[in-house]
Amino acid sequence: MNQLKVLYVDDDIINRKLLKNILKKHPKVYETLEAKDGKEALEVLNKNPDVDFVLLDIIMPRLDGIETLKYMKKDPRFSQIPVIVLSTDDTQKSRAIDAGANDFINKPIKERDLSQKIEQFSAL
């Protein structure tokens, strides 16, 4: 993976703006898509099956991150997409990994941490 199309999912508009700004600066990210909850994320994925990477908040209305992740991992179109879960709650980390997340980043998101994860997963 050289150039990445990234979907970021968070119900908080400030977090979405932060993620968008960090992602726009990364040289390997050529396109970003956003969703405000898990239900919308699945709709975006259905319309954009070429997404390379997902950043997924856990605590969201309508469909939370864990349930969204479970749907993604069951669907062969999305099951191989790397997913990094974002949360302020460390206790969610094991639930996310058990549900199929590739990694976990604590909020608030630090640009350095996110850039390292992008580098790590774009090398796969």
In tens digits, the chain (124 residues) has pLDDT values of: 578 999 999 999 999 999 999 999 999 999 999 999 999 999 999 999 999 999 999 999 999 999 999 999 999 999 999 999 998 888 888 899 999 999 999 999 999 999 999 988 787 6
Burial 13-49 (b: 16+ CB within 10 A, else e): eebbebbbebbeebebbeebbbbbbbbbbbebbeeee
* pTM recorded for the entire structure: 0.95
Is there a contact between 110 and 81 (Cβ–Cβ < 8 Å)?
no
Its CATH architecture, for the domain 4-122, is 3-Layer(aba) Sandwich (3.40)
Is there a contact between 104 and 84 (Cβ–Cβ < 8 Å)?
yes
